[in-house]
């Protein structure tokens, strides 16, 4: 799994003019799923996201987690995170899981984050043409790959 995590003051997802999800302070997570992703990836990434100390404390230091600030989350599926761009100019998405594999993993990940966070999270619509609006706070943007834990 590969995730781009953005600390936001607000974020929303719209599909065909309909508001699907909206949050205030929290995290927007763009999630790419590959065929090799398993339960261990889901659990590890969820724990990592809800416990990342990337929110400011009373001294303006990034020292608090999503749990500690009672922040919200929107999780949006994004197969393009697994684009291979080594050859040519047209990205290859061969590593990205096909919908029949990716949808159940995405849904399991959403449930795991809800469990770890202790509340519902917003989502996008898998495979839809989504319009994602956000106000990046900081900006703070992290990339995490469960296959390359740095």
The string of pLDDT tens digits covering residues 128-139 is 999 999 999 999
Is 80 assigned a catalytic role? yes
**With bands split at pLDDT 50, 70 and 90, how would you rate the model's confidence at 83?**
confident
The residue-averaged pLDDT of 106-113 equals: 98
pTM of the model: 0.94
| Helix, coil or strand: residue 115 | helix
Domain spans of the chain, in order of start: 2-145
Sign (positive or negative) of CA dihedral 18, 98, 47, 64: negative
More confident: 147 or 49: 49
- Structure confidence at residue 74 as a pLDDT band (50, 70, 90): very high
Per-residue pLDDT, 64: 98
9: enclosing H helix or E strand: strand 2-15
80, 85, 123, 141: the catalytic one is 80
Categorize the per-residue pLDDT at 84 as very low, low, confident or very high, splitting at 50, 70 and 90.
confident
Q: What is the mean pLDDT of residues 28-54?
A: 96
- Return the half-sphere exposure (C-beta side, CA atoms, 13 A cut-off) of residue 29: 29
The CATH number, out of the four listed (3.30.420.40, 3.30.70.100, 3.40.140.10, 3.50.80.10), of the domain defined by the range 2-145: 3.50.80.10
């Amino acid at each position: 799994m590969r995730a781009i995590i953005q600390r936001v003051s607000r974020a929303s997802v719209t599909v065909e003019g309909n508001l699907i999800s909206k949050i205030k302070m929290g995290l927007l997570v763009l999630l790419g799923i590959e065929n090799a992703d398993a339960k261990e990836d889901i659990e590890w990434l969820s724990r990592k996201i809800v416990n990342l100390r990337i929110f400011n404390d009373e001294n303006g230091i990034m020292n608090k987690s999503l749990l500690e600030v009672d922040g919200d989350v929107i999780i949006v599926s994004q197969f393009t995170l697994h684009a291979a761009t080594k050859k040519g100019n047209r990205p290859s998405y061969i590593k990205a899981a096909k919908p029949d594999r990716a949808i159940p993993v995405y849904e399991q990940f959403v449930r795991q984050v809800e469990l770890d966070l202790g509340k519902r999270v917003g989502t996008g619509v898998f495979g839809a043409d989504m319009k994602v609006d956000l106000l990046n706070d900081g900006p703070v943007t992290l990339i995490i790959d469960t296959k390359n834990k740095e």
